[in-house]
Amino acid sequence: MRAVTLCWLRRRCFSTCTVYLCSNKEALASSVSKLQIKEMAKLDVPIEKVSLSRGLAMNKFEKDFMIFPEYTDTDDVKAIQGFAEVLRKSLELSVDHGELEAHGSLTDSVKAALQDSAVFSALIPSSYEGLGLGHKDQMKVFEDLNIDWNVYANVASMKSLVNTLLLFGSEPLKEKYFPLVASGKCRPIIAFVDDPSPSSSAEVIGEGRTNSVLRITNTRCIGMHNANLALVFARTKDGHNSCYIIDHSDLKEGDKWEFKRDETVGLKAFDVGTLDLLASISDDQLIGKLGQGNEIRDELVCSQRLPLAAATVGYGKRLLHDLASLCNKTPSNKKDNALVSDESMIQYTTTDFALKV
């Protein structure tokens, strides 16, 4: 068993994404005063009202503790609640679980709901014509994507692409692909970070900076159906593991792009399979620096934890709501003229579940 050290936890949990989001003004708040402690101090806000741990260290506890200090304006709270409410209602009207599984991809009605609700645009900073939602606002959006895990998986793959380009991509790549993401025209597929299959390979052939060839063989990938953009990792002859972005529309004559979908139980509207790729590449398609593939790979893993956690919490809330509704409508078999919700054991079990959610 591998020992879990503090250094490993620090590297995994406090990822580059977290550092970026905590230092980005737009990522956490709509004004500078919400980020800088000095600005908060000018408002004479007691530290115990902002930080629970520091307040307890001073043996002080503020009953009006700011649970979400980044929301100092109630208008911000109402805005994201309204945004999430519109998204939730749109998805409830458009999502049909059986139809999604049978269709093999997101249906036109679901795509329209995501586009009309500006979900993809919410992932893009405002400097690139996106909505520029903060990190916490984005997690609120992911809470409502649990209505169907096909929907969550498709949006999560898009967020992985956006996050990778945001942290490691060059300015030309951001300017090219962020508008396509916001418009829903970009359909990414992402290579698995560690593919144990002995038959898979990913290598860069050639030493030139403009005439190298990327060859991907039987590499497992996940992403949106009918992908037109691939985020892949490959190793050069000198051992550099790097990340490349391959646009299907940029393939030249003689290049190859073949994706074979695996048969899955569920998630049939989300592609899981293997990719065979042969494409000419240049430095313009390199994400980050040469040899930075491992760092980008770790970031891809870490950056998906909070969105998945948010969707899971949202799923738990939805399940709790459905459970309460069922208990309040079902007659009890143990008591006359009573409902299941009147039974003490049901009340205890439901309360325990609610506290865990």
The rounded mean pLDDT for the chain is 80
Is residue 120 classed as helix, strand or coil in its secondary structure?
A: helix
Q: How far apart are CA 252 and CA 235, in angstroms?
A: 22
Q: How far apart are CA 108 and CA 123, in angstroms?
A: 21
Q: How far apart are CA 320 and CA 326, in angstroms?
A: 10
Give the global pTM.
0.75
pLDDT at 67 over 50: no
Which pLDDT score, from 0 to 100, does residue 202 have?
Answer: 78
pLDDT at 12 over 70: no
Rounded to whole angstroms, the maximal C-alpha distance in the chain is 82
For 227-241, write each residue's pLDDT tens digit: 999 999 988 877 788
- DSSP letter string, 192-250: -SS---TT-EEEEE-S-SSSEEEEEEEEEEEESTT-SEEEEEEE-TTS-EEEEEEEGGG
Q: Which fold has domain 188-305?
A: Butyryl-CoA Dehydrogenase, subunit A; domain 2 (2.40.110)
Higher pLDDT, residue 162 or 353: 162
The closest alpha carbon to 259, from 248, 273, 244, belongs to 273
pLDDT band at 30 (very low <50, low <70, confident <90, very high): very low
Q: Which of 58-62, 218-222, 252-256 has the lowest mean pLDDT?
A: 58-62
Q: How far apart are CA 183 and CA 37, in angstroms?
A: 37
CATH architecture of 74-182: Orthogonal Bundle (1.10)
Q: How far apart are CA 179 and CA 174, in angstroms?
A: 8
Q: Which of 31-45, 152-166, 242-256 has the lowest mean pLDDT?
A: 31-45
Per the CB < 8 A criterion, the answer to whether 220 and 273 are in contact is: yes
The closest alpha carbon to 286, from 341, 223, 240, belongs to 240
- Residue 354 host element (H or E): helix 344-356
Cα dihedral 333, 334, 339, 344 sign? negative
pLDDT at 38 over 50: no
pLDDT band at 40 (very low <50, low <70, confident <90, very high): very low
Which pLDDT score, from 0 to 100, does residue 81 have?
Answer: 87
Per the CB < 8 A criterion, the answer to whether 161 and 190 are in contact is: yes
Per the CB < 8 A criterion, the answer to whether 154 and 270 are in contact is: yes
- Residue 256 host element (H or E): strand 256-261
Name the percent of the chain lying above pLDDT 90: 42
Name the burial class of residue 165, with classes exposed (0-12), middle (13-18) and buried (19+) by CB atoms within 10 angstroms of its CB. buried
Which pLDDT score, from 0 to 100, does residue 171 have?
Answer: 95
Which pLDDT score, from 0 to 100, does residue 334 have?
Answer: 85
Angle at 179 between CA 193 and CA 279, to 5 degrees: 45
Q: How far apart are CA 42 and CA 59, in angstroms?
A: 23
What lies within 8 Å, CB to CB, of 279 at 6+ separation is: 213, 214, 246, 251, 252, 255, 256, 257
Give Cα 341 distance to the centre of its chain. Answer: 36
pLDDT band at 90 (very low <50, low <70, confident <90, very high): very high
For 239-287, write each residue's pLDDT tens digit: 788 999 999 999 988 899 999 999 988 899 999 999 999 998 888 999 9
Per the CB < 8 A criterion, the answer to whether 240 and 248 are in contact is: no
Which pLDDT score, from 0 to 100, does residue 138 have?
Answer: 92
Per the CB < 8 A criterion, the answer to whether 73 and 80 are in contact is: no
Name the burial class of residue 24, with classes exposed (0-12), middle (13-18) and buried (19+) by CB atoms within 10 angstroms of its CB. middle
Q: Which of 89-93, 188-192, 256-260 has the lowest mean pLDDT?
A: 188-192
Q: Which pairs from 74-81 meet CB under 8 Å and 24+ separation?
A: 76/30, 80/133, 80/137, 80/140, 81/140
Radius of gyration of the chain (CA): 24
Per the CB < 8 A criterion, the answer to whether 160 and 177 are in contact is: no
